[in-house]
Amino acid sequence: MYDLIILGGGPAGTAVAVYAARKQLKTAIITSEFGGQSIVSEKIYNWIGTPEISGVELGSSFKKHILYYKGPFLDIIEGEKITKINKKDNIFLSETESGKKYESKTVIITTGSGRRKLEAINADKFENKGIIYCASCDGPLFIDQDVIVVGGGNSAFESASQLLAYCKSVTLIHRRDEFKADEITIKKLLQNPKFKTILNAEIIKVDGDQFVNSLTYKDKITNEEVTIPATGIFVEIGQTPNIEFAKDILKIDEFNKIIVDPTTQMTSVPGIWAAGDCTNGKYHQNNIAAGQGVTALEDAYLWIQNNL
Ligand SMILES: Cc1cc2nc3c(=O)[nH]c(=O)nc-3n(C[C@H](O)[C@H](O)[C@H](O)COP(=O)(O)OP(=O)(O)OC[C@H]3O[C@@H](n4cnc5c(N)ncnc54)[C@H](O)[C@@H]3O)c2cc1C
Give residue 237's pLDDT.
95
Confidence of residue 157 (pLDDT cuts 50, 70, 90): very high
User: Residue 112 Cα, ligand 1 centroid: separation in angstroms?
Assistant: 5
Percent of the chain with pLDDT strictly greater than 70: 100
Mean pLDDT of the chain: 95
Give residue 239's pLDDT.
87
Confidence of residue 41 (pLDDT cuts 50, 70, 90): confident
Give residue 40's pLDDT.
81
Give residue 294's pLDDT.
98
- Which residue ranges have their beta carbon within 6 Å of ligand 1? 7-13, 30-34, 36-38, 40-41, 44, 46, 81-82, 110-113, 155, 242, 245, 276-277, 284-287, 289
What is the atom index within ligand 1 of the atom nearest the CA of 40? 1
Give residue 141's pLDDT.
92
pLDDT digits (tens, 9 = 90+) for 223-252: 999 999 999 999 999 889 999 999 999 999
pLDDT, average across residues 157-163: 95
Query: Helix (H) and strand (E) counts for the chain?
Result: 6, 17
Give residue 42's pLDDT.
78
- Report the C-alpha gap between 155 and 149 in whole angstroms: 10
Burial of 32 (0-12, 13-18, 19+ CB in 10 A): middle
State the Cα torsion 240-243-248-252 to the nearest 10°. -50
Give residue 138's pLDDT.
86
Lowest-confidence pick of 37-46, 81-90, 172-181, 224-233? 37-46
pLDDT, average across residues 161-172: 97
What is the atom index within ligand 1 of the atom nearest the CA of 287? 11
pLDDT, average across residues 25-35: 97
Beta-carbon count within 10 A of 210 CB: 8
